[in-house]
Amino acid sequence: MTVGLTLNATNAPHQIDASVELAREAASAGLSSVWFGQTFGADSPQLAAIVGREVPGLQVGTSAIPVFGRHPLTVASQALTAQAATHGRYHLGLALGTKLLTEGGFGLPFERPVARLREFLSALRQLTETGEADFRGELLTAATPMPVRVPGADSGVPLLVAAMGPQALRASGELADGILPYLAGPRALEQHIVPSLTAAAEAAGRPAPRVVALVPGVVTDDVDSVREAATEQLAFYEQIPSYARVIGLSGARRASDVAVIGDEKAVAAEVRRYRNAGATEVVFSLTEIAGAADRRRTWDLLGDLAKEGASTS
């Protein structure tokens, strides 16, 4: 099992420079991957490409680009460029998106999201593996009158999906390389998410998918105040049906109840629970709400756990 974290430097005076510095700190702590979210700010594949270029050896990823408001041709171009820039260390995450951001931001109807995801993945797989496509679906077309190739991006691009619902898990098992569930605790992973995903992959004759569990977590002695901050920051997700469902399946009431907050011993035990529940990788988020000392404690522990996973794999 590998261990990584999400990086969010949107409050820094210079987001790109700050992201590179944070990634260097993460690598020096022994972490194996860093991931960047995608909203309406920095372009996450570009950011991952820059960071991966500046910090050799570190795996970099996007988690995750919504399929609404994008097209497989442009996303393939971005992903292949990032893959070439990092010499094969880039991982592309896709998401269904949300009704709130799709309709409020792009002015697009949030309709048939899983069908769109299926078509997006089908076209994108062709483009990233061969540089060409002739895909004509119900919802989108992706054809290449000229190739979508980036010399140097020879290893393809791992495709992952922020999937947690039954239909999205089925599509991901059949068409993607893995998933990026967020706010899905060990119970939800073990009892619902991993079995559905694995069954879909097996039925499609595909290899066992990766399960990159994104986990909000901080190592701290000030558990109450950090959890209070987490409750405020994560409340947004409680209004999104897919997240509300998986929070409930995790045996939690609030999103912050899923957060892993405590001292080194407590946090390490929870990370191992994710591993035992079927996570192939654990990626921590939320350390931006911690002070510098707690952030360093968190990263040092995750680095130690990454080494532990490497020694037992």
pLDDT in tens, 13-57: 999 999 999 999 999 999 999 999 998 899 999 999 999 999 999
Low-confidence spans in the chain with pLDDT less than 50: none
Which pLDDT does position 211 carry in this prediction? 98
Q: What is the pTM of this model?
A: 0.94
Domain range holding 144?
A: 32-161
Which pLDDT does position 166 carry in this prediction? 96
Is 298 in contact with 222 (CB distance < 8 Å)? Answer: no
Which residues are within 8 A (CB) of 93 and not within 5 positions of it... i.e. 6 or more apart? 35, 61, 62, 63, 64, 65, 160, 161, 162, 180
Which pLDDT does position 288 carry in this prediction? 73
Task: State the alpha helices, DSSP H only, in 104-219.
Answer: 113-130, 166-175, 186-188, 194-203
Question: Treating both helix axes as pointing N-terminal to C-terminal, what angle do 113-130 and 72-85 enclose, rounded to 10 degrees?
Answer: 50
Asked if the structure places residue 71 within a domain, the reply is yes
Is 152 in contact with 84 (CB distance < 8 Å)? Answer: yes
Which pLDDT does position 309 carry in this prediction? 65
Asked if the structure places residue 53 within a domain, the reply is yes
Asked if the structure places residue 14 within a domain, the reply is no
Asked if the structure places residue 126 within a domain, the reply is yes
Which pLDDT does position 310 carry in this prediction? 60
- As for how many domains the chain has, the answer is 1
Asked if the structure places residue 19 within a domain, the reply is no
Asked if the structure places residue 122 within a domain, the reply is yes
CATH classification of the domain holding 75: 3.20.20.30
What residues does 3 pair with on adjacent strands? 282
Asked if the structure places residue 128 within a domain, the reply is yes
Is 81 in contact with 45 (CB distance < 8 Å)? Answer: yes
Asked if the structure places residue 280 within a domain, the reply is no
Which pLDDT does position 39 carry in this prediction? 87
